[in-house]
Structure 1
Amino acid sequence: MNIVRTGNGIRNFTGTGLTARKVDFTEIPQIDFAPMASDDIADRLKVAAELKDACVNVGFFYLKNHRVPQEVIDATFGAAKRYFATSLEEKMRLHVAKSTNHRGYGPLLEENTDPTAKGDLHEAFDLSLDIPADDPEVLAGHTLHGPNVWPESMPNFREPLTRYYDEMILLGRRIFQAFALALELDEDFFAPMIKRPGSSMRVLYYPPQEGVIDEKQIGIGAHSDYECFTILAQGGDVEALQVLNAKGEWISAPPIHGAFVVNIGDQMARWSNDLFKSTLHRAINRSGRERYSIPFFYGCDYATVLTPLPNCVDGEHPAKYEPVTAYEYVSGRFAETYGYFKKEEA
């Protein structure tokens, strides 16, 4: 039995090894998001029903017809490839440990998502909501808010990533509307809680792993995400993402051109009292080629209190989680994952 400690408790899985079962990828549902733009509530409710089924039974789904321009996605991947091709010395100028709000570059092994592992084999560049250093929330000590940082040697890096971030914010608001309908709430239920969402974006580079691979040192170890949901773009056709199903089997989640992979995070699992599954996943790049991905972690406002929604609690399903603010939860998870962050919080 393998154990992974997440922010929502210990998770077990029986499967060992690095191989994922290659099945027809429709086992991870594909959802056509186009009807969410319809003026007919029946069309939007149909999307919500499909989304609910995916979130209850899988925790992952592919999102098609999302209205994010492909050129925005392509430009961001292009910028990421140029950035990670620069020298380590240049990238380390913006090492994330130098940041006061978790922004900048993370080298190989900087992150360790699985506390039982030896570090994750990927490089990262992190950004989030760009807030001035003199903003009241920043001055009040919210260590995850503040300004982004950008490499001075790459003036063409900031624009594509910022545009992508803005597109994700808009898409995420539409996804929240679908979640509200899926949970039988008013369509704008979550709107007051995502005015200044604690949402972060990463561009990631995974070098290929070849030869004998240590199961405790892979691209990114088994984990669940911290925020409400994640919108992931996978570059090219390199397979690496694996999702743990209800049987304890690792299922391959290959890229589908034009579709995002969306998965439930711990915050939404807490809100829904685990009706929506925050599913364990990992990434192992054994393709022999470089892999790039862009995860966008969509959270709620940091002051939001996460507590199970009343319509997700009853006599058979008592509340599983004590109330906690979004900031307390995410900062606590960061302290578990990043050694430098734990030192800053101490």
Structure 2
Amino acid sequence: MAPTAPPILDFSPFYGTDGAAKAKLVQQVRESCEYNGFFQITGHRIPRELQVRVMDAAKRFFALPLEEKMAIDKNLNSFNRGYELLRSQMLEVGTAPELKEGLYIGEEIGADHPYYINGRLNSGPNQWPATVPDAQEFRETSMEYYHAVYELAKDVLAVLALTLDVEESFFDPLTEGGVATMRMLHYPSQPKDEDEKLNRGIGAHTDFGCITLLLQDEVDGLQVLDAPSGQWLDVQPVLGAYVVNLGDLMMRMANDRYKSNIHRVINKSGRERYSIPFFFSGNPDHVCKCLPNCCKAGEQPKYPPITVEDMVRGAYKQSYGRAEAYKKELAEKAKAHKIEAASATAMVS
């Protein structure tokens, strides 16, 4: 069978009363999860008008001068909120740190919230830009959108439960008190002849958490690996649609029955690209273990149980650690080169 890009599925039967149409949707999602863990959905309940507003908000933020964005640098806090500079993350070994900048937003967690007090995963107050035009509207739109996509994530998880032949409410304990991160991302334009291995928007990787819901602008660049053929397939932007993909936690719980697939972003369009992924991790204390119907009787699951917090924190540490190690290596090489050049000059003189 020839490799095909992730299918575009009409999600509206989930909200309707047509049992046959809903069963068809469940089967389509099941097939997508078993093949490469990616699909797009239309027919959801998020208004197009809200998508337009939040994408406009993202563009207003990234248009700010660097020093104004750096005022909310996420490295100034321990809860992963705020601005992330270009080249901060490195998801693929052997490539340069990634050519993207981002703004990390989550649920508003006050200083009196148990998650903040106990230093839980990605939990704290949002770091809002003070100088972005229409600052109050920026905050309100961002949070309105965050909550809308959180609800859609719960709907997608309900369908995933049905694909695994468990109750629609099976993932409710995972979503109750769940942690999620919304990122506004900006990919600067790249020359078409640039070395894509050194200058990728995002290197080849899998996502860490349970599911991701991605809103793209009209500029392409997202690619998904078709494992059987080894080909990279373009995921073309579809107006108003969400690209849905499974993360490593979902693959673990499904005991590899479902795929957390490798994907990347290479922006060779010659244009700036904006996207807003929503990474749903889940309740930090939720123990993710092999799901019913995903392990044969008498067999041991492939993965031991792990909490959401432990899984996601470990993955963050690896990806950001690679970027820092790469930068350190470059600095050491530059220093050695300067020493060699100085020695050569001294010998000549």
> Which residue, out of 159, 173, 182, partners 2:140?
159
What is the match of residue 177 of structure 2?
A: 196
Q: Deviations over 1:228-281 (max 9, x none)?
A: 111101112x11000001221101111011211111111110110111110000
Q: Which amino acid aligns with 1:261?
A: V
Matches within 5 A, 1:147-226: 147-154=125-132, 155=135, 156-210=137-191, 211-226=193-208
TM-score (norm 2): 0.87
Quick one: distance in 1 between partners of 2:261 and 2:174? 23
What is the match of residue 254 of structure 1?
A: 236
What is the match of residue 210 of structure 2?
A: 228
Q: Is 1:284 matched up with 2:284? A: no
| Structure 1, 225-234 or 333-342: larger mean CA deviation | 333-342
Secondary structure of the 2:185 match is: strand
Deviation at 1:216, TM superposition (A): 3.3
Quick one: distance in 2 between partners of 1:301 and 1:53? 27
Quick one: distance in 2 between partners of 1:222 and 1:142? 28
State percent identity of aligned pairs: 38
Quick one: distance in 2 between partners of 1:287 and 1:342? 28
Q: Contact conserved, 1:335 with 1:342, CA < 8 A, in 2?
A: no
Tell me how many residue pairs correspond in the alignment.
319
Quick one: distance in 2 between partners of 1:241 and 1:284? 7
Deviation at 1:318, TM superposition (A): 4.0
What is the match of residue 53 of structure 1?
A: 31
Quick one: distance in 2 between partners of 1:331 and 1:172? 21
Q: Is 1:87 matched up with 2:68? A: no
Quick one: distance in 2 between partners of 1:250 and 1:127? 30
> Which residue, out of 123, 132, 147, partners 2:101?
123
Larger Rg: 2
Change (3 A) 1:192 1:315: closer
Q: Which amino acid aligns with 1:152?
A: A
Secondary structure of the 1:28 match is: coil
> Which residue, out of 264, 267, 274, partners 2:256?
274
What is the match of residue 332 of structure 2?
A: none
Q: Contact conserved, 1:123 with 1:204, CA < 8 A, in 2?
A: yes
TM-score (norm 1): 0.88
Segments of 5+ residues of structure 1 without an aligned counterpart are 1-22
Quick one: distance in 1 between partners of 2:161 and 2:293? 12
What is the match of residue 281 of structure 2?
A: 299
Quick one: distance in 2 between partners of 1:310 and 1:36? 22
Secondary structure of the 1:310 match is: coil
Quick one: distance in 2 between partners of 1:32 and 1:62? 9
What is the match of residue 3 of structure 1?
A: none
Q: Which amino acid aligns with 1:182?
A: T
